[in-house]
């Protein structure tokens, strides 16, 4: 359950009065998610999500994130449109947090995607990249290498036992990776949290993409490396070659990778595994029992690092050029 900042029905009613959605009939906390507070709201104007932005979602980045979903929806891509308040703004304030009302999309996120679903998910990611290519917004990665170091330093105050061993290995991996991180790769606005639970499916068909709050301008293959880590491994962190190659096949149906991007996969795969291991480790170590949220396990992401360290580009299952 992700509720960091509780909202009463009366508070929600007062807040959405500004959004022209008519009367509120129901408000229910949403069980999934770990970053922001989310409620499903039922109004005369239909079902929406009420989101209060927390923690890693800096207010300054929100015009980029919401602007990107609006841009994509305008291009016919199924991203949820934010609703404008009476002032014309997407972003208001509720209980001390920036807050927004977001269009509800049909479908359900996946936990263990099949190869067929992965191909469709990969194809959709390429579509996202191409349709976002002319989006003019700018935002640097809010959880980039500088933040990984800060997260590691913060974790250092609390980590003990297994967590400490994991943290030490992560810092060593960061030292190895930092000089290897490539630049100058094809880039644009990217999702940066393209996990199967953020792609809403109806059967094998992906109907929409949500949760653009880590979105920023970055290398397309960085987004792809994040997605491969999220889609192509089992719950223990072991690679599933069939799903990995299915996702890549789908992506390349929409956009062919350049040679430099293919060569960057092992380093970016390891770096993105470090990034998600660190945020999960941090959230586990700094969990507040008053929050209605279930922190995610860092161990399966930590396990992915070994695969990427040993991998060559061919191990991701790309068809030969
Ligand atoms: N626009 C939407 N349409 C339908 N469901 C949504 C939408 N936005 C969020 N959800 C639901 O809320 C859950 C949490 O949202 P998410 O954006 O992933 O949270 P967080 O910001 O914490 O990462 C999702 O897994 C999904 O079930
Ligand atoms: N996808 C990330 C963290 C954000 O998770 P979400 O469920 O809120 O989208 C992870 O799995 O670590």
Mean pLDDT of 104-115: 96
Q: Which of 4, 29, 31, 33 to mutate to test the pocket of ligand 1 (most atoms within 8 A of CB)?
A: 33
Q: Are strands 187-190 and 216-219 parallel, antiparallel or unpaired?
A: antiparallel
Nearest to 109 by CA among 32, 3, 27: 32
* Ligand 1 pocket member 38 (CB < 6 A): yes
Place of tokens 């039922």: 42
Q: Band of the pLDDT at 318, cuts 50, 70, 90?
A: confident
In terms of pLDDT, which residue wins out, 46 or 321? 46
Place of tokens 């291009």: 75
Nearest to 17 by CA among 87, 108, 104: 87
Place of tokens 């100058």: 184
Segment holding 73, helix H or strand E: helix 62-74
Residue 51 alpha carbon, nearest atom of ligand 1: 21
pLDDT at residue 100 tops 60: yes
Contact (CB, 8 A) for 192 and 219: no
Q: Which of 51, 283, 284, 296 to mutate to test the pocket of ligand 2 (most atoms within 8 A of CB)?
A: 296
Q: What confidence score (pLDDT) does residue 239 get?
A: 97
Give tens-digit pLDDT for 261-289.
Answer: 999 999 999 999 999 999 999 999 999 88
Q: Which of 32, 34, 51, 302 to mutate to test the pocket of ligand 2 (most atoms within 8 A of CB)?
A: 34
* CA distance readout (Å), 92 to 13, 30, 33, 41, 292: 14, 20, 21, 16, 23
Q: Band of the pLDDT at 320, cuts 50, 70, 90?
A: low
Distance 177 CA to ligand 2 centre (A): 23
Ligand 2 surroundings by CB, under 6 angstroms: 32-35, 193, 195, 197-198, 211, 276, 279-280, 296
* Ligand 1 pocket member 104 (CB < 6 A): yes
Count of C-beta atoms within a 10 Å radius of residue 203: 10
Mean pLDDT of 209-217: 98
Q: What confidence score (pLDDT) does residue 157 get?
A: 95
Tell me which residue has its CA closest to atom 8 in ligand 2.
Answer: 33
CB-based burial, 1-35: b 16+ in 10 Å, e otherwise: ebbbeebeeeebeebbeebebeebeebeebeebbb
Q: What confidence score (pLDDT) does residue 7 get?
A: 97
Helix pair angle (161-177, 145-156), 10° resolution: 150
Q: Band of the pLDDT at 321, cuts 50, 70, 90?
A: low
Q: What confidence score (pLDDT) does residue 289 get?
A: 86
pLDDT at residue 232 tops 90: yes
Q: Band of the pLDDT at 291, cuts 50, 70, 90?
A: confident
pLDDT at residue 165 tops 80: yes
pLDDT at residue 161 tops 60: yes
Contact (CB, 8 A) for 92 and 100: yes
Q: What confidence score (pLDDT) does residue 309 get?
A: 98
Domains of the chain listed by start with CATH number: 9-103 (3.30.200.20), 115-316 (3.90.1200.10)
Residue 195 alpha carbon, nearest atom of ligand 2: 1
Residue 22, phi-psi category: left (phi > 0), alpha (psi -120 to 50), beta (remainder): left
Mean pLDDT of all residues belonging to the chain: 96
Contact (CB, 8 A) for 231 and 237: no
Q: What confidence score (pLDDT) does residue 294 get?
A: 86
């Amino acid at each position: 359950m992700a509720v960091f900042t509780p909202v009463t029905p009366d508070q929600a009613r007062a807040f959405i009065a500004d959004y022209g959605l008519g009367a509120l009939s129901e408000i229910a906390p949403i069980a999934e998610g770990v970053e922001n507070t989310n409620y499903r709201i039922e109004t005369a104007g239909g079902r929406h999500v009420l989101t209060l932005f927390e923690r890693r979602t800096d207010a300054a980045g929100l015009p980029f994130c919401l602007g990107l979903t609006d841009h994509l929806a305008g291009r016919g891509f199924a991203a949820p449109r934010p609703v404008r308040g009476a002032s014309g703004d997407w972003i208001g304030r509720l209980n001390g947090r920036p807050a927004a009302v977001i269009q509800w999309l049909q479908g359900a996120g996946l936990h263990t995607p099949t190869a067929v679903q992965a191909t469709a998910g990969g194809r959709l990611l390429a579509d996202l990249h191409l349709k976002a290519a002319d989006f003019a917004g700018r935002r640097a990665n809010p959880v980039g290498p500088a933040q990984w170091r800060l997260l590691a330093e913060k974790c250092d105050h609390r980590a003990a036992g297994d967590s400490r061993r994991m943290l030490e290995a992560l810092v060593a991996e960061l030292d190895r990776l930092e000089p290897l991180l490539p630049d100058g790769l094809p880039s644009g606005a990217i999702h940066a949290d393209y996990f199967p639970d953020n792609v809403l499916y109806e059967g094998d068909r992906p109907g929409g993409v949500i949760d653009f709050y880590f979105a920023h301008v970055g290398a397309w293959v960085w987004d792809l490396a994040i997605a491969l880590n999220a889609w192509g491994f089992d719950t223990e962190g072991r690679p599933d070659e069939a799903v990995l190659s299915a996702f890549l096949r789908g992506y390349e149906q929409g956009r062919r990778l350049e040679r430099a991007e293919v060569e960057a996969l092992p380093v970016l795969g390891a770096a993105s595994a470090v990034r998600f291991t660190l945020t999960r480790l941090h959230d586990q170590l700094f969990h507040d029992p008053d929050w209605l949220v279930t922190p995610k396990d860092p161990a399966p992401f930590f396990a992915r690092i070994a695969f990427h360290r040993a991998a060559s580009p061919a191990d991701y299952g790309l068809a030969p050029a």
